[in-house]
Amino acid sequence: METQLQQLIEHWPEEALSYRRVGAGEMLFRQGQPANAIYAIRSGSIRMERDLEDGSTVVLHTARAGETFAEAAFNASHYHCNAVAVSDSDVLVLASKVLNGETADLALHKLLNTILANQVRELRTLVSLRDIRGAEDRLLAWIQLQPQTRAGEIVISQTWTVIAQAIGLTRESVYRALSNLVRKRVIERSTAQSDDRTERLRLL
Amino acid sequence: METQLQQLIEHWPEEALSYRRVGAGEMLFRQGQPANAIYAIRSGSIRMERDLEDGSTVVLHTARAGETFAEAAFNASHYHCNAVAVSDSDVLVLASKVLNGETADLALHKLLNTILANQVRELRTLVSLRDIRGAEDRLLAWIQLQPQTRAGEIVISQTWTVIAQAIGLTRESVYRALSNLVRKRVIERSTAQSDDRTERLRLL
DNA sequence: CGAGGGGTTGAAGATGGTCAAAGGAGGTGG
DNA sequence: CCACCTCCTTTGACCATCTTCAACCCCTCG
C-alpha cells in the first residue's frame, strides 16, 4: 500500500499538491475549520483529537509516516477534529478540490477507492485481532497474518515496540509472549542478525 | 451512514443488483474465488475468516446487519477470505463490474469514496477507543463520542451487550462501568422507561 | 562519553474476565 | 391465558492475566 500511496501522489494534479512542516505540538488544522485537503505524512506523526463540550478531549487516531488522514474532506465541509503534530512532521497536502465537479478524474477516484477499501480491510482485521484476549494468541494471530517469504519466513520490519502498540499490548507483554511462543516451539526467532538488521520469524 | 448505504443501493444499476439468502454456517464465498461483488447485509451476520497454511483460521471481521463488506472486490481479483454466515442471513449483492471500464459512473465512485472514508474514520476511532485500558474510561469515551440531542441527552439505540462487543469489553464489565459512572455522578441513566424502550444518558 | 531508545526479564498489584445466579421483558405454542 | 424459553440486564466473588515499575544490557548517535 505504500506503493498505492505513491500512485495516488503521482496521479494527483501538481497544482493541487503542496508541502507543509509542522513542529511538535503545532496544529495542522482545527476542529471546525473548512476541510479542503487530505494529508499524507512523510515523516513524524500527527494525532487527531476531538474537543468535547466539557473541555476534555478524546484521541481519535494517531497517524504515522506513510499514512494518509483527513479523508473526511470528501464529504464533510469542515474538520471534525484537531490535528496536532506529536513530533516534528513533514506532510504532503493534497487539495481536495480536484475531486469535486463534473470534470473530476475517474481514474483518481477509482484509485482512491481501492486505497480506502484496503484501509478498511486492514482496520477491521486490527479490530478483530484486538478481540483476541490472550497476549500469546493475539500476537500469534498477528504473526500468522503477516506475509511470508517463499522460504516460509516472516520478515519483521517494525520494532516490536511499534507492533505492540498496533495490536494493543504493552511492549513487555509482547516480549513475554514472544519468549513463550519460542519456548513452546510455536515459532523460531532468527538469532542470526549477522549483517542485516531485520529480524526473521518462522512458524513451526 | 445507514442513509449513505441507502443512497448507494439506489444509485446502483438495477441489473447489477441481486439478493441472496445464506443459512447459518453456509458460505457466501470462499477464499480464492473470483471477487465480483460487494455485499450489504440486510439481516443476520457474516464472519470473514482467513484459512492459514497450518489448517487453522483467523477471524478478520464479523459484519452485522446494515454493514457492507468485501469491498476488496475493487482491486483484488479473488477473495482473500471465506465469508461464513453466523446466523441465517439476507444479503444484497452489488456486482462490482459496474465500477470498471471507462463508462463507469463518476457519481457512484464519489459516493463510494465518502462511504469508505467514513468507515475508515469510524474504524480508526474504534481502534483508538480500544487503546484506552480502563473499562470506565473506555466506556465514557465512547459515550462522549455519541451524538447528543439538543437537550444534552444521548440516545442509546443498541443493547449494551452489542456496545460491549464493539468497544472490546464483556457485557459484565460494561454494566459495572456504567454503575460506577453513575455512582461517581459522571453520568445519569434514564430510569424513566415509561413508554418508549430506548435508554437515555446524560453527562454531568 | 553520555543520553536515549529498543530489547528483555522479574516481581507485585490492579483490573477485567469468567462463572454463577437471578430478575424482567418479549415471544411462542398449547 | 399460562407455561416456557430466550435474551438482555445486573451484581457478586474469584482468579487469570496484563500492566506497572524496576532494573539491566546493548547499540547508536550527537
**Within chain A, which residue ranges are assigned CATH 2.60.120.10?**
2-129
Decide if B52 and A144 are in contact by the 8 Å CB cutoff: yes
Average pLDDT of the segment spanning A140-146: 97
**Within chain A, which residue ranges are assigned CATH 1.10.10.10?**
132-203
pLDDT of residue A192: 58
Which chain B positions have a beta carbon within 8 Å of A75's beta carbon? 114, 117-118
* A118 interface with B at CB cutoff 8 Å: yes
pLDDT of residue B54: 84
- Indicate the average pLDDT of chain B: 91
Tens of pLDDT along B1-45?
A: 567 888 999 999 999 999 999 998 899 999 999 999 999 999 899
Tens of pLDDT along B48-77?
A: 999 998 889 999 999 998 899 988 877 788
CA distance B96 to B17: 10
**Which of the four pLDDT bands, split at 50, 70 and 90, describes residue B165?**
very high
Of A60, A75, A141, the CB nearest to B124: A60
Dihedral class, residue A71 (left if φ above 0, else alpha if ψ from -120 to 50, else beta): alpha
Residue indicated by cell numbers 483476541: A132
In this prediction, what percent of chain A has a pLDDT beyond 70? 96
B133-203 sits in which CATH class? Answer: mainly alpha
Tens of pLDDT along B102-152?
A: 778 899 999 999 999 999 999 999 999 999 999 999 999 999 999 999 999
pLDDT of residue B196: 61
Pairing of strands B187-189, B199-203: antiparallel
Residue indicated by cell numbers 520490519: A157
B2-129 sits in which CATH class? Answer: mainly beta
Contact B54, B97 (CB under 8 A): no
Tens of pLDDT along A55-79?
A: 889 999 999 988 999 888 777 889 9
Number of H helices, E strands in chain A: 5, 11
**Within chain B, which residue ranges are assigned CATH 1.10.10.10?**
133-203
pLDDT of residue A2: 60
A132-203 sits in which CATH class? Answer: mainly alpha
Contact A125, A145 (CB under 8 A): yes
CA distance A4 to B146: 33
Burial of A151 (0-12, 13-18, 19+ CB in 10 A): exposed
